[in-house]
Structure formats: structure tokens, C-alpha cells
Amino acid sequence: MSRNKRKTSAWQALAVTTICVLFVMTALVGLYKCFSQEPTLKDSTTPALNGDPSAPQELRSGQQGGNILSTASERKEHYYTILLGGLDDENGGSDTNLLVALDADQKEINVVSLPRDTLLDVSWSVKKLNNAYHHGGISQTQAEITRLLGIPVDYYVTVDLRAFVELVNAIGGVDFDIPVNMDYDDPYQDLHIHFQSGLRHLDGAEALQVVRWRQNNDGTGYATADIGRIGTQQEFLKAVAKQTLQISNWDKVSAMAEIFEKWVETDLKLSNLIWLGEQALTIGNDNIAFHTLPGDGSGYYKGGSYYVLDPEATLDMVNTYFNPYKHDLTMDDLHILVP
């Protein structure tokens, strides 16, 4: 009889424990869902999104330009565009710009690198994309990208490059295949970059050197100049995403949150970030695709060196991967300056 009581008691304890665990899990999920909220789209006709008002409007032949976005355009549901800007504290500008398109319905994330020397139709003497930050911060950069590509940039997230170092360190470093030999010394900045090509485990400081390197002191480097650097950045971001989404890093969420709070600025609410993070985890690393705006990195405009976009190829890329509308854009929707 006593044996039966002990057996029954053990099963009762297991049942009670299981119910308690399920109750706690349900409560946590409920709390999580309360804080998870899908972003609300802004009005895309605001003046801030219309770019430099004093731009000379020197567009390609036959292009209309002046693309003020219309709220009448029917947008895809659960589709958001977010500008990710990497801020260079030493130079006081936007060193890296990525446009992210998250399509929660199609389970896709597309990321396009926007070359820093991309030619803009603006009134400033230096008509490069990274110069937009000096003329109005991240909001001006948003405005110029919106006008350039004919699509709204719904939100922004700016990341100080020091966060990059801390994040890589927080996840225990990243294994990365360095594509070329890197040998660069700048004694004035106390900057010394020396890596042999091949697989290497990089800590945060080493990773930042690798993704920012452009060429060696002797002039050798990527065959495609800054586009080669963008390719390395994209491959490294893939490696970081893969490493970050591993289960073994879930216990580092609090450390990542501290890094985010310290070095990241955004116009997204915390509840929106939770929702976007939930979608990203659901979509997974395998469904994240990286692109680069198509163009000529050796282009010139009025004696200056620029990255000149290919209008037709750019339009095709936008419609295929970054168009939040249910209808295709036309060349008149874009605002591309071609010498």
C-alpha cells in the first residue's frame, strides 16, 4: 500500500511540476506577445522625405523626377524598409549604409549595400551619398535614398561602429575567410592592418579592421575597389548572423541588449523591434539575401570620382527585391543622375 502511495505521489508531483512549467511558459509567452507590436507606417508624403529641395534636378534624358511618394499607392502588407547606418565616430559621418527590406508574408529579408560614393542629384559640391549625413544627419540620408530609389524608407537604425566590436566579442568572435592579403599602415591614425588571406577566427577589433580595409599601402587590393569591400562586409554580416542565431548564444541576449541600448539609435519602438526580431528569427539566416546597387565605381561627374548607378539595372533590382508597393515602379519614380 505504501508503495502505491509513493508511486501515486511521484506521478502527482510530476504532473504538478509539468503544469507549473507550462503555466510559467504560457505567462512568459503572453508577456512577450504583449510587448510585440507590428510597426505602424508613416506618412510618406512628408517634406523630409523629398530630398534636397535646392537640387539642380539634372536627370537622365526623358526622366521626370521629383518623385513625391503618394499615400494612394497600395502597399504590401507586413512589408517594411529600414535603413541601417554604420556611424564612424572618428570621421563623424555615415561610413556604411544598408537598406533592409523585410517581407514577413513571403518570409524574405533582402539587404542592399548602398556604396558611399553613390552619385546624388543634390546642390552640394560633393554629391556623394555618405555626404548626406553631414547635411542633415540620418534623416537627410533617408530622404536622399527615398528620392533616389523611389521607395519610402520607413525606419532607421544607426549603429556606432564601436557596437560592432562589442557585438563580435559578445558572441565569442567569428570564423571568417579573409579574401585577400591585407597590409596597411597609417602611423598618423595609429592604424595597422595585417592579415593573410584565409580562414581566421576574428575578435571584434580585428573584424572591424577587415571590413573597413580598402587597399594596401602599395595600391593593391580588391579588383573592384570599394565594391570589393562591400562584398567582404556582406559576407562577414552573413557570418555574424549565422553565429548570432545559434542556440549557444541565446544566453547572451542580455549582453546584446546592453550593447544595443548603449550604441544604437532608432525611430522604432521597443515593441516594434521585438516584432521585427520575431519575424527575423522565423525567416532564418538562409532566407537573408545581400545585394549591391548596380553601377560603375570608376565613374566621374564634373571632374569628381563617383559611383554612378545603372538606371535600368537599379530599377529592376528595386522592383524585384525592395519594392513595398503592389505595383511595379517605372523609371520616372526613380531619381538617378547620370553624367
- pLDDT tens readout for residues 186-223: 888 788 899 999 999 999 999 988 988 888 888 888 87
3-state secondary structure of 23: helix
Q: Return d(Cα 34, Cα 32) in angstroms, integer.
A: 5
pTM of the model: 0.74
- Grid cell in block for residue 181: 592579403
H/E segment holding residue 196: none
Half-sphere exposure of 91 (CA within 13 A, CB side): 13
Q: Exposed/middle/buried for 192, CB within 10 Å: 0-12, 13-18, 19+? A: exposed
Percent of the chain with pLDDT over 90: 37
What is the tens place of the pLDDT at every residue in 260-286?
Answer: 778 888 998 878 887 887 788 788 778
Max CA pair span of the chain? 98
15: pLDDT strictly greater than 80: no
User: Residue 274 and residue 292: Cα distance in Å, rounded?
Assistant: 27
Taking the C-alpha atoms of residue 104 and residue 221, their distance in angstroms, rounded to an integer, is 38
